[in-house]
Amino acid sequence: MIINDLSSLYWKPLRAGDVRWNFEKFLVDPEGRAVMRFTAPVEPVEMEPVIEEFIRTWTAKKQREIYSDLLSELNINY
């Protein structure tokens, strides 16, 4: 089961009782924020498309931020 509800991530910080099984997995963004939680029965191969989509969206988001910052520095409105 993949849990996409951010309120169920229990991430500030994790306590011993938060993880129900030692094979639970967390997808964490480069800034250290929990993005998604995968319960124990989820195999790594099932996580792959979720991780690939996260990488695509994260990269696109960061590229937009960099582009926007650059335009702001150059005083260009788009």
Percent of the chain residues past pLDDT 90, beyond the cut: 12
- pTM exceeds 0.85, yes or no: no
Q: Which residue has the higher pLDDT, 10 or 24?
A: 24
Q: Could you read off the pLDDT of 13-36 as tens digits, one per residue?
A: 566 666 777 788 888 888 888 888
Q: Is 27 exposed, middle or buried (0-12, 13-18, 19+ CB in 10 A)?
A: middle
Q: Where are the domains of the chain?
A: 2-73
**pLDDT score recorded for residue 26:** 86
DSSP string covering 45-58, please? HHHHHHHHHHHHHH
